[in-house]
Structure 1
Protein backbone atom coordinates (compact mmCIF):
# COMPACT_ATOMS: atom_id res chain seq x y z
CA UNK A 1 0.00 0.00 0.00
CA UNK A 2 0.99 3.64 -0.47
CA UNK A 3 0.17 5.91 2.41
CA UNK A 4 -2.86 8.20 2.27
CA UNK A 5 -1.78 11.85 2.04
CA UNK A 6 -3.04 12.68 5.53
CA UNK A 7 -1.14 9.87 7.29
CA UNK A 8 1.68 11.97 8.73
CA UNK A 9 0.17 14.37 11.24
CA UNK A 10 1.44 16.06 14.39
CA UNK A 11 -0.60 13.52 16.34
CA UNK A 12 1.17 10.61 14.61
CA UNK A 13 4.54 12.20 15.27
CA UNK A 14 3.75 12.61 18.97
CA UNK A 15 2.57 9.01 19.15
CA UNK A 16 5.73 7.68 17.51
CA UNK A 17 7.91 9.63 19.92
CA UNK A 18 5.82 8.36 22.83
CA UNK A 19 6.27 4.78 21.63
CA UNK A 20 10.02 5.24 21.31
CA UNK A 21 10.29 6.81 24.74
CA UNK A 22 8.18 4.08 26.33
CA UNK A 23 10.40 1.39 24.80
CA UNK A 24 13.65 3.01 25.84
CA UNK A 25 12.39 3.77 29.34
CA UNK A 26 11.26 0.17 29.81
CA UNK A 27 14.00 -1.75 28.03
CA UNK A 28 17.06 0.40 27.39
CA UNK A 29 17.72 2.83 30.21
CA UNK A 30 17.40 0.25 33.03
CA UNK A 31 20.22 -1.69 31.29
CA UNK A 32 22.44 1.32 30.54
CA UNK A 33 25.65 1.02 32.56
CA UNK A 34 24.14 -2.09 34.15
CA UNK A 35 24.55 -4.76 31.45
CA UNK A 36 25.63 -8.23 32.48
CA UNK A 37 27.98 -10.17 30.20
CA UNK A 38 25.27 -12.66 29.25
CA UNK A 39 23.15 -9.76 27.91
CA UNK A 40 25.76 -8.88 25.24
CA UNK A 41 26.31 -10.94 22.08
CA UNK A 42 27.90 -10.60 18.64
CA UNK A 43 26.16 -10.80 15.27
CA UNK A 44 28.12 -10.64 12.00
CA UNK A 45 31.51 -10.04 13.66
CA UNK A 46 33.20 -9.37 16.98
CA UNK A 47 32.73 -5.66 16.26
CA UNK A 48 28.96 -6.03 15.62
CA UNK A 49 27.27 -6.18 19.03
CA UNK A 50 23.68 -6.75 20.09
CA UNK A 51 22.26 -6.69 23.59
CA UNK A 52 19.07 -7.71 25.34
CA UNK A 53 18.17 -4.01 25.29
CA UNK A 54 18.31 -3.86 21.47
CA UNK A 55 16.10 -6.90 21.03
CA UNK A 56 13.56 -6.09 23.72
CA UNK A 57 13.22 -2.45 22.65
CA UNK A 58 12.73 -3.45 19.03
CA UNK A 59 9.92 -5.84 19.94
CA UNK A 60 8.29 -3.08 22.00
CA UNK A 61 8.58 -0.46 19.26
CA UNK A 62 7.51 -2.85 16.50
CA UNK A 63 4.24 -3.66 18.25
CA UNK A 64 3.53 0.01 18.95
CA UNK A 65 4.23 1.16 15.38
CA UNK A 66 1.96 -1.51 13.89
CA UNK A 67 -0.82 -0.11 16.06
CA UNK A 68 -0.24 3.36 14.61
CA UNK A 69 0.20 2.51 10.92
CA UNK A 70 -0.24 -1.17 10.14
CA UNK A 71 2.55 -1.77 7.63
CA UNK A 72 5.59 -4.09 7.86
CA UNK A 73 8.40 -3.20 10.25
CA UNK A 74 12.01 -3.66 9.14
CA UNK A 75 13.99 -3.69 12.36
CA UNK A 76 17.75 -4.03 12.56
CA UNK A 77 17.58 -7.00 14.89
CA UNK A 78 14.75 -8.74 13.03
CA UNK A 79 16.72 -8.32 9.81
CA UNK A 80 19.75 -9.95 11.43
CA UNK A 81 17.57 -13.05 11.71
CA UNK A 82 15.79 -12.68 8.34
CA UNK A 83 17.78 -10.78 5.73
CA UNK A 84 14.89 -10.85 3.26
CA UNK A 85 13.23 -8.06 5.25
CA UNK A 86 15.63 -5.63 3.59
CA UNK A 87 13.87 -6.26 0.28
CA UNK A 88 10.80 -4.48 1.66
CA UNK A 89 12.63 -1.16 1.98
CA UNK A 90 12.85 -0.46 -1.76
CA UNK A 91 9.61 -2.21 -2.66
CA UNK A 92 6.20 -0.75 -3.31
CA UNK A 93 4.12 0.45 -0.41
CA UNK A 94 5.04 1.60 3.06
CA UNK A 95 7.30 0.18 5.76
CA UNK A 96 8.61 1.26 9.11
CA UNK A 97 12.39 1.06 9.66
CA UNK A 98 13.65 0.76 13.24
CA UNK A 99 17.03 0.93 14.95
CA UNK A 100 16.17 0.38 18.62
CA UNK A 101 19.64 1.18 19.96
CA UNK A 102 21.82 2.97 17.44
CA UNK A 103 25.42 2.97 18.61
CA UNK A 104 25.25 -0.31 20.51
CA UNK A 105 29.00 -0.38 21.14
CA UNK A 106 28.77 3.04 22.76
CA UNK A 107 25.78 1.88 24.80
CA UNK A 108 27.71 -1.17 26.00
CA UNK A 109 30.66 1.07 26.93
CA UNK A 110 28.41 3.29 29.04
CA UNK A 111 28.65 6.31 26.75
CA UNK A 112 25.76 8.73 26.24
CA UNK A 113 26.30 8.56 22.47
CA UNK A 114 23.48 6.20 21.51
CA UNK A 115 20.01 6.79 20.16
CA UNK A 116 16.74 5.26 19.04
CA UNK A 117 15.72 5.78 15.40
CA UNK A 118 12.53 5.24 13.39
CA UNK A 119 11.69 6.11 9.79
CA UNK A 120 8.54 5.71 7.73
CA UNK A 121 9.26 4.86 4.11
CA UNK A 122 6.72 4.91 1.30
CA UNK A 123 7.44 3.53 -2.18
CA UNK A 124 11.17 3.55 -1.48
CA UNK A 125 11.52 7.10 -0.13
CA UNK A 126 11.61 8.32 3.45
CA UNK A 127 8.59 10.46 4.30
CA UNK A 128 9.02 10.89 8.07
CA UNK A 129 11.65 10.16 10.68
CA UNK A 130 12.30 10.38 14.40
CA UNK A 131 15.43 10.13 16.55
CA UNK A 132 15.55 10.16 20.34
CA UNK A 133 18.59 10.48 22.60
CA UNK A 134 17.55 8.64 25.78
CA UNK A 135 20.61 9.41 27.88
CA UNK A 136 20.22 13.18 27.44
CA UNK A 137 16.45 13.51 26.96
CA UNK A 138 16.46 15.07 23.48
CA UNK A 139 14.62 14.32 20.24
CA UNK A 140 14.63 15.41 16.61
CA UNK A 141 12.09 14.57 13.92
CA UNK A 142 11.09 15.55 10.41
CA UNK A 143 8.43 14.98 7.76
CA UNK A 144 8.83 15.38 4.02
CA UNK A 145 7.88 18.89 2.99
CA UNK A 146 7.12 19.93 6.57
CA UNK A 147 10.53 20.59 8.14
CA UNK A 148 12.80 19.46 10.94
CA UNK A 149 12.09 19.99 14.62
CA UNK A 150 14.64 19.71 17.43
CA UNK A 151 13.12 19.44 20.91
CA UNK A 152 9.90 20.88 19.51
CA UNK A 153 11.45 23.90 17.74
CA UNK A 154 11.83 24.30 13.98
CA UNK A 155 15.47 23.88 12.95
CA UNK A 156 17.21 25.32 9.89
CA UNK A 157 20.84 24.44 9.39
CA UNK A 158 23.40 27.17 8.80
CA UNK A 159 26.19 27.37 6.25
CA UNK A 160 29.68 26.58 7.60
CA UNK A 161 31.19 29.43 9.57
CA UNK A 162 34.54 28.99 7.82
CA UNK A 163 34.26 27.31 4.40
CA UNK A 164 38.06 27.33 4.13
CA UNK A 165 38.44 25.09 7.20
CA UNK A 166 35.62 22.58 7.13
CA UNK A 167 35.13 20.36 10.16
CA UNK A 168 34.29 16.85 9.05
CA UNK A 169 33.38 13.46 10.44
CA UNK A 170 34.38 10.57 8.20
CA UNK A 171 33.75 6.84 8.26
CA UNK A 172 36.63 4.85 6.79
CA UNK A 173 35.88 1.42 8.27
CA UNK A 174 33.98 0.12 5.24
CA UNK A 175 35.79 2.20 2.61
CA UNK A 176 36.78 -0.07 -0.29
CA UNK A 177 39.79 2.05 -1.20
CA UNK A 178 42.77 3.41 0.69
CA UNK A 179 41.48 4.40 4.13
CA UNK A 180 44.47 6.58 4.89
CA UNK A 181 43.96 8.41 1.60
CA UNK A 182 40.32 9.03 2.48
CA UNK A 183 41.25 10.53 5.83
CA UNK A 184 44.01 12.59 4.21
CA UNK A 185 41.52 13.96 1.67
CA UNK A 186 39.19 14.96 4.50
CA UNK A 187 42.01 16.62 6.43
CA UNK A 188 42.98 18.64 3.33
CA UNK A 189 39.72 20.58 3.81
CA UNK A 190 40.15 21.21 7.54
CA UNK A 191 39.92 19.33 10.85
CA UNK A 192 38.57 15.80 10.40
CA UNK A 193 37.60 13.21 12.96
CA UNK A 194 36.17 9.69 12.92
CA UNK A 195 32.42 9.29 13.09
CA UNK A 196 30.94 8.59 16.52
CA UNK A 197 29.81 5.09 15.45
CA UNK A 198 26.32 6.31 16.20
CA UNK A 199 24.61 7.80 13.16
CA UNK A 200 21.96 9.35 15.42
CA UNK A 201 24.61 11.58 17.00
CA UNK A 202 26.61 12.13 13.80
CA UNK A 203 23.52 13.51 12.07
CA UNK A 204 22.67 15.64 15.09
CA UNK A 205 26.19 17.08 14.99
CA UNK A 206 25.96 18.10 11.34
CA UNK A 207 22.43 19.48 11.46
CA UNK A 208 23.22 21.62 14.53
CA UNK A 209 26.57 22.83 13.15
CA UNK A 210 28.91 20.96 15.49
CA UNK A 211 30.44 19.55 12.30
CA UNK A 212 30.23 20.85 8.73
CA UNK A 213 29.84 17.52 6.98
CA UNK A 214 29.60 13.82 7.68
CA UNK A 215 30.50 11.05 5.25
CA UNK A 216 29.60 7.39 5.64
CA UNK A 217 30.73 4.50 3.47
CA UNK A 218 28.03 1.96 4.46
CA UNK A 219 24.36 2.90 4.48
CA UNK A 220 22.09 0.35 6.09
CA UNK A 221 18.59 1.88 6.04
CA UNK A 222 17.98 1.95 9.80
CA UNK A 223 21.22 3.91 10.23
CA UNK A 224 20.60 6.55 7.55
CA UNK A 225 16.98 6.85 6.46
CA UNK A 226 16.07 8.80 9.62
CA UNK A 227 19.04 11.17 9.67
CA UNK A 228 19.16 11.87 5.95
CA UNK A 229 15.58 13.15 5.88
CA UNK A 230 16.10 15.18 9.05
CA UNK A 231 19.10 16.88 7.46
CA UNK A 232 17.38 17.46 4.13
CA UNK A 233 14.33 19.02 5.76
CA UNK A 234 16.67 21.32 7.72
CA UNK A 235 18.19 22.57 4.47
CA UNK A 236 21.25 20.35 4.11
CA UNK A 237 22.13 18.18 1.12
CA UNK A 238 22.27 14.47 1.86
CA UNK A 239 23.06 12.28 -1.15
CA UNK A 240 25.36 9.63 -2.53
CA UNK A 241 28.91 11.01 -2.99
CA UNK A 242 28.44 10.34 -6.72
CA UNK A 243 25.64 12.91 -6.70
CA UNK A 244 22.85 10.36 -7.04
CA UNK A 245 19.80 10.54 -4.79
CA UNK A 246 20.06 8.60 -1.55
CA UNK A 247 17.36 5.93 -1.38
CA UNK A 248 17.13 3.82 1.79
CA UNK A 249 16.80 0.57 -0.15
CA UNK A 250 19.74 1.24 -2.45
CA UNK A 251 23.26 -0.16 -2.47
CA UNK A 252 24.43 -0.23 1.16
CA UNK A 253 28.02 0.28 0.02
CA UNK A 254 27.39 3.37 -2.13
CA UNK A 255 28.00 5.82 0.74
CA UNK A 256 26.23 9.00 1.79
CA UNK A 257 27.52 12.53 2.28
CA UNK A 258 25.67 15.23 4.20
CA UNK A 259 26.71 18.90 4.14
CA UNK A 260 25.38 22.37 3.49
CA UNK A 261 24.59 22.86 -0.24
CA UNK A 262 27.19 25.63 -0.42
CA UNK A 263 30.03 23.17 0.21
CA UNK A 264 28.53 19.75 -0.65
CA UNK A 265 30.01 19.53 -4.18
CA UNK A 266 33.48 20.54 -3.00
CA UNK A 267 33.47 17.99 -0.19
CA UNK A 268 32.18 15.26 -2.50
CA UNK A 269 34.80 15.98 -5.15
CA UNK A 270 37.60 15.99 -2.59
CA UNK A 271 36.55 12.72 -0.98
CA UNK A 272 36.13 11.05 -4.37
CA UNK A 273 39.86 11.49 -4.94
CA UNK A 274 40.62 8.91 -2.23
Structure 2
Protein backbone atom coordinates (compact mmCIF):
# COMPACT_ATOMS: atom_id res chain seq x y z
CA UNK A 1 0.00 0.00 0.00
CA UNK A 2 1.58 3.33 -1.02
CA UNK A 3 1.90 5.98 1.65
CA UNK A 4 0.27 9.36 1.29
CA UNK A 5 1.68 11.20 4.31
CA UNK A 6 3.52 13.77 2.19
CA UNK A 7 0.42 14.37 0.10
CA UNK A 8 -1.67 14.83 3.23
CA UNK A 9 0.75 17.40 4.60
CA UNK A 10 0.61 19.18 1.25
CA UNK A 11 -3.20 19.19 1.37
CA UNK A 12 -3.05 20.97 4.74
CA UNK A 13 -0.58 23.51 3.34
CA UNK A 14 -2.96 24.13 0.43
CA UNK A 15 -5.87 24.54 2.84
CA UNK A 16 -3.86 27.03 4.93
CA UNK A 17 -3.16 29.13 1.84
CA UNK A 18 -6.74 28.99 0.56
CA UNK A 19 -8.14 29.89 3.97
CA UNK A 20 -6.46 33.28 3.80
CA UNK A 21 -8.27 33.96 0.52
CA UNK A 22 -11.71 32.62 1.43
CA UNK A 23 -11.95 34.07 4.92
CA UNK A 24 -10.93 37.52 3.69
CA UNK A 25 -13.79 37.44 1.15
CA UNK A 26 -16.43 35.88 3.42
CA UNK A 27 -19.09 38.52 4.12
CA UNK A 28 -17.08 41.08 2.12
CA UNK A 29 -19.27 43.92 0.91
CA UNK A 30 -17.57 43.94 -2.51
CA UNK A 31 -17.84 40.18 -3.12
CA UNK A 32 -18.58 39.58 -6.81
CA UNK A 33 -21.13 36.86 -7.53
CA UNK A 34 -22.28 35.49 -10.90
CA UNK A 35 -24.68 32.78 -12.05
CA UNK A 36 -23.08 29.97 -14.07
CA UNK A 37 -24.86 28.34 -17.04
CA UNK A 38 -26.34 25.69 -14.73
CA UNK A 39 -27.72 28.57 -12.59
CA UNK A 40 -25.49 27.75 -9.61
CA UNK A 41 -23.52 30.64 -8.16
CA UNK A 42 -19.81 31.37 -8.33
CA UNK A 43 -17.92 34.16 -6.58
CA UNK A 44 -14.55 35.76 -7.15
CA UNK A 45 -13.42 33.88 -4.03
CA UNK A 46 -14.20 30.51 -5.68
CA UNK A 47 -12.08 31.32 -8.70
CA UNK A 48 -9.22 32.92 -6.76
CA UNK A 49 -9.07 29.96 -4.37
CA UNK A 50 -8.96 27.39 -7.15
CA UNK A 51 -6.31 29.33 -9.06
CA UNK A 52 -4.18 29.41 -5.90
CA UNK A 53 -4.47 25.65 -5.40
CA UNK A 54 -3.69 24.97 -9.05
CA UNK A 55 -0.65 27.22 -8.92
CA UNK A 56 0.79 25.49 -5.85
CA UNK A 57 0.11 22.03 -7.26
CA UNK A 58 1.81 22.97 -10.52
CA UNK A 59 4.94 23.81 -8.52
CA UNK A 60 4.86 20.93 -6.04
CA UNK A 61 3.21 18.11 -8.02
CA UNK A 62 3.86 19.00 -11.68
CA UNK A 63 3.23 15.46 -12.91
CA UNK A 64 -0.21 15.21 -11.31
CA UNK A 65 -3.48 16.11 -13.01
CA UNK A 66 -5.89 18.61 -11.48
CA UNK A 67 -9.68 18.54 -11.72
CA UNK A 68 -11.59 21.49 -10.26
CA UNK A 69 -15.06 22.91 -10.25
CA UNK A 70 -14.33 26.28 -11.86
CA UNK A 71 -11.70 25.60 -14.54
CA UNK A 72 -10.94 22.93 -17.14
CA UNK A 73 -8.95 19.84 -16.09
CA UNK A 74 -5.19 19.99 -16.56
CA UNK A 75 -2.61 17.23 -16.91
CA UNK A 76 -3.04 13.49 -17.19
CA UNK A 77 -1.93 10.37 -15.43
CA UNK A 78 -3.04 8.09 -12.61
CA UNK A 79 -2.75 10.73 -9.87
CA UNK A 80 -5.46 13.40 -9.93
CA UNK A 81 -6.10 16.17 -7.43
CA UNK A 82 -9.82 16.95 -7.27
CA UNK A 83 -10.68 20.34 -5.83
CA UNK A 84 -13.81 22.23 -4.85
CA UNK A 85 -12.56 25.65 -3.72
CA UNK A 86 -15.80 26.50 -1.87
CA UNK A 87 -18.32 23.75 -1.32
CA UNK A 88 -21.47 25.57 -0.24
CA UNK A 89 -21.07 28.70 -2.35
CA UNK A 90 -24.71 29.65 -1.81
CA UNK A 91 -24.06 29.66 1.94
CA UNK A 92 -20.82 31.58 1.42
CA UNK A 93 -22.43 34.40 -0.55
CA UNK A 94 -25.29 34.75 1.96
CA UNK A 95 -22.99 34.86 4.98
CA UNK A 96 -23.85 31.39 6.32
CA UNK A 97 -20.67 29.85 7.84
CA UNK A 98 -21.31 26.31 6.54
CA UNK A 99 -18.89 26.13 3.60
CA UNK A 100 -15.59 24.37 3.05
CA UNK A 101 -12.67 23.79 0.73
CA UNK A 102 -12.52 20.18 -0.47
CA UNK A 103 -9.19 18.70 -1.55
CA UNK A 104 -8.87 15.08 -2.70
CA UNK A 105 -6.23 12.90 -4.26
CA UNK A 106 -7.44 10.16 -6.59
CA UNK A 107 -4.82 7.53 -7.43
CA UNK A 108 -5.57 5.16 -10.31
CA UNK A 109 -9.29 5.89 -10.00
CA UNK A 110 -9.49 5.45 -6.24
CA UNK A 111 -9.94 8.38 -3.78
CA UNK A 112 -7.03 7.83 -1.40
CA UNK A 113 -6.90 11.15 0.43
CA UNK A 114 -9.50 13.71 1.42
CA UNK A 115 -9.36 16.97 3.35
CA UNK A 116 -12.36 19.13 4.21
CA UNK A 117 -11.47 22.55 5.63
CA UNK A 118 -14.27 24.70 7.05
CA UNK A 119 -12.53 27.80 8.44
CA UNK A 120 -15.72 29.66 9.40
CA UNK A 121 -16.58 26.69 11.62
CA UNK A 122 -13.01 26.36 12.87
CA UNK A 123 -12.85 22.69 11.83
CA UNK A 124 -11.06 20.36 9.47
CA UNK A 125 -11.61 16.69 8.70
CA UNK A 126 -9.15 14.51 6.81
CA UNK A 127 -8.20 10.94 5.98
CA UNK A 128 -5.69 9.00 3.94
CA UNK A 129 -5.93 5.39 2.86
CA UNK A 130 -5.15 3.09 5.77
CA UNK A 131 -4.51 5.94 8.23
CA UNK A 132 -7.97 6.47 9.74
CA UNK A 133 -10.13 9.60 9.74
CA UNK A 134 -9.35 12.63 11.87
CA UNK A 135 -10.88 15.95 12.88
CA UNK A 136 -9.41 19.06 14.44
CA UNK A 137 -7.88 22.39 13.60
CA UNK A 138 -4.58 21.04 12.26
CA UNK A 139 -2.43 17.90 11.97
CA UNK A 140 -1.00 18.57 15.42
CA UNK A 141 -4.40 19.16 17.02
CA UNK A 142 -6.63 16.26 16.03
CA UNK A 143 -8.68 13.35 17.28
CA UNK A 144 -9.58 10.19 15.43
CA UNK A 145 -13.24 9.93 14.45
CA UNK A 146 -15.56 6.99 13.88
CA UNK A 147 -19.06 6.45 12.56
CA UNK A 148 -21.88 5.46 14.91
CA UNK A 149 -22.99 1.95 15.79
CA UNK A 150 -26.69 2.68 15.27
CA UNK A 151 -28.19 -0.40 13.64
CA UNK A 152 -31.93 0.41 13.46
CA UNK A 153 -33.65 3.03 11.31
CA UNK A 154 -35.93 4.10 14.14
CA UNK A 155 -32.83 5.03 16.15
CA UNK A 156 -31.10 6.80 13.23
CA UNK A 157 -30.52 10.45 12.39
CA UNK A 158 -30.73 11.25 8.66
CA UNK A 159 -29.60 14.29 6.67
CA UNK A 160 -30.80 14.45 3.07
CA UNK A 161 -30.03 17.94 1.76
CA UNK A 162 -33.16 19.77 0.53
CA UNK A 163 -36.16 17.48 0.39
CA UNK A 164 -37.54 18.99 -2.82
CA UNK A 165 -34.31 18.23 -4.73
CA UNK A 166 -35.19 14.53 -4.70
CA UNK A 167 -37.98 15.09 -7.22
CA UNK A 168 -35.27 15.44 -9.89
CA UNK A 169 -34.42 11.73 -9.55
CA UNK A 170 -37.99 10.62 -8.87
CA UNK A 171 -37.18 9.68 -5.29
CA UNK A 172 -39.02 12.37 -3.30
CA UNK A 173 -41.68 10.02 -1.88
CA UNK A 174 -39.16 7.27 -1.07
CA UNK A 175 -36.83 9.67 0.74
CA UNK A 176 -39.68 11.21 2.74
CA UNK A 177 -40.86 7.73 3.70
CA UNK A 178 -37.33 6.83 4.79
CA UNK A 179 -37.07 10.03 6.84
CA UNK A 180 -40.35 9.23 8.57
CA UNK A 181 -38.91 5.84 9.54
CA UNK A 182 -35.92 7.49 11.23
CA UNK A 183 -35.69 8.92 14.73
CA UNK A 184 -34.67 12.37 13.49
CA UNK A 185 -34.36 14.11 10.15
CA UNK A 186 -32.49 17.27 9.25
CA UNK A 187 -30.97 18.83 6.13
CA UNK A 188 -27.51 19.99 7.18
CA UNK A 189 -26.40 20.16 3.57
CA UNK A 190 -23.25 20.01 1.48
CA UNK A 191 -20.08 18.60 3.08
CA UNK A 192 -21.36 18.97 6.65
CA UNK A 193 -23.81 16.07 6.53
CA UNK A 194 -20.99 13.67 5.65
CA UNK A 195 -18.55 15.01 8.21
CA UNK A 196 -21.19 14.71 10.93
CA UNK A 197 -21.73 11.14 9.74
CA UNK A 198 -18.00 10.41 9.97
CA UNK A 199 -18.02 11.76 13.54
CA UNK A 200 -20.98 9.57 14.51
CA UNK A 201 -23.44 12.45 14.99
CA UNK A 202 -25.48 11.52 11.88
CA UNK A 203 -26.11 7.97 10.67
CA UNK A 204 -27.38 8.49 7.08
CA UNK A 205 -26.57 11.21 4.53
CA UNK A 206 -27.67 11.36 0.91
CA UNK A 207 -27.95 13.77 -2.01
CA UNK A 208 -29.53 13.23 -5.44
CA UNK A 209 -27.24 15.29 -7.69
CA UNK A 210 -23.51 15.77 -7.12
CA UNK A 211 -20.30 16.10 -9.13
CA UNK A 212 -16.96 14.40 -8.63
CA UNK A 213 -15.55 17.56 -7.05
CA UNK A 214 -18.38 17.51 -4.48
CA UNK A 215 -17.67 13.94 -3.37
CA UNK A 216 -14.05 12.92 -3.92
CA UNK A 217 -12.75 14.42 -0.66
CA UNK A 218 -15.69 13.07 1.36
CA UNK A 219 -15.22 9.42 0.42
CA UNK A 220 -11.91 8.76 2.27
CA UNK A 221 -13.13 10.55 5.40
CA UNK A 222 -16.36 8.52 5.55
CA UNK A 223 -14.78 5.16 4.70
CA UNK A 224 -11.72 5.56 6.93
CA UNK A 225 -14.13 6.45 9.77
CA UNK A 226 -15.76 3.05 9.21
CA UNK A 227 -18.69 4.07 7.03
CA UNK A 228 -19.75 3.32 3.48
CA UNK A 229 -20.15 5.75 0.56
CA UNK A 230 -21.94 4.73 -2.64
CA UNK A 231 -24.16 6.04 -5.40
CA UNK A 232 -27.91 5.51 -5.29
CA UNK A 233 -27.23 2.49 -7.52
CA UNK A 234 -25.02 1.03 -4.80
CA UNK A 235 -21.67 1.52 -6.55
CA UNK A 236 -18.87 2.39 -4.13
CA UNK A 237 -17.07 5.69 -4.67
CA UNK A 238 -17.78 9.18 -6.01
CA UNK A 239 -18.57 8.49 -9.66
CA UNK A 240 -22.33 7.92 -9.73
CA UNK A 241 -23.57 11.52 -9.81
CA UNK A 242 -25.25 11.18 -6.41
CA UNK A 243 -24.45 9.89 -2.95
CA UNK A 244 -25.60 7.64 -0.14
CA UNK A 245 -23.38 7.51 2.92
CA UNK A 246 -24.11 5.58 6.11
CA UNK A 247 -22.36 4.08 9.10
CA UNK A 248 -22.31 0.84 7.10
CA UNK A 249 -24.76 -0.98 9.33
CA UNK A 250 -27.72 0.80 7.75
CA UNK A 251 -26.50 0.91 4.18
CA UNK A 252 -28.28 -2.05 2.63
CA UNK A 253 -31.61 -1.02 4.15
CA UNK A 254 -31.21 2.59 2.96
CA UNK A 255 -30.40 1.45 -0.58
CA UNK A 256 -33.38 -0.86 -0.53
CA UNK A 257 -35.61 2.09 0.40
CA UNK A 258 -34.24 4.87 -1.86
CA UNK A 259 -31.72 3.22 -4.20
CA UNK A 260 -31.95 2.96 -7.97
CA UNK A 261 -29.99 -0.26 -8.43
Per the shorter chain, which TM-score range? 0.7 to 0.9
> Counterparts of 1:261 and 1:161 in 2: how far apart (Å)?
9
SS in 2 for 1:154: strand
Q: Which residue of 2 aligns with 1:183?
A: 176
> Counterparts of 1:178 and 1:127 in 2: how far apart (Å)?
30
Q: Show the 5 A alignment for 1:199-238.
A: 199=191, 201-238=192-229
Q: Deviations over 1:14-68 (max 9, x none)?
A: 232122121221x21111111436x00011344x000000000110111112333
Q: Closer, same or farther in 2 for the Cα pair 1:240/1:45, shift >3 Å? A: closer
- Alignment of 1:20 onto 2:15: yes
Q: Deviations over 1:72-126 (max 9, x none)?
A: 2111001xxx4xx39x8xx851110001111000001101100001000111111
How does the TM-score come out when normalised to structure 1? 0.83
> Counterparts of 1:157 and 1:227 in 2: how far apart (Å)?
13
Whether contact under 8 Å (1:167, 1:211) holds in the other structure is: yes
RMSD of equivalent CA atoms? 2.3
Structure 1 unaligned regions, length at least 5 = none
Q: Closer, same or farther in 2 for the Cα pair 1:59/1:262, shift >3 Å? A: same
> Counterparts of 2:234 and 2:240 in 1: how far apart (Å)?
14
Q: Deviations over 1:203-253 (max 9, x none)?
A: 11111122211011123111111111100001011112332222x3x342x
Q: Which residue of 2 aligns with 1:29?
A: 23
Whether contact under 8 Å (2:104, 2:217) holds in the other structure is: yes
Q: Deviations over 1:129-181 (max 9, x none)?
A: 11111112211111112211111222222212864232111145154205244
> Counterparts of 2:251 and 2:96 in 1: how far apart (Å)?
31
SS in 2 for 1:77: coil
Whether contact under 8 Å (2:104, 2:216) holds in the other structure is: yes
- Alignment of 1:156 onto 2:146: yes
> Counterparts of 1:218 and 1:231 in 2: how far apart (Å)?
18
Whether contact under 8 Å (1:54, 1:101) holds in the other structure is: yes
Whether contact under 8 Å (2:231, 2:240) holds in the other structure is: no
Whether contact under 8 Å (1:92, 1:124) holds in the other structure is: no
How does the TM-score come out when normalised to structure 2? 0.87
Following superposition, which runs of at least 4 residues in structure 1 exceed 4 angstroms of deviation? none
> Counterparts of 1:122 and 1:157 in 2: how far apart (Å)?
25
Of the candidates 49, 53, 56, which is equivalent to residue 57 of structure 1? 49
- Alignment of 1:193 onto 2:190: no
Structure 2 unaligned regions, length at least 5 = 137-141
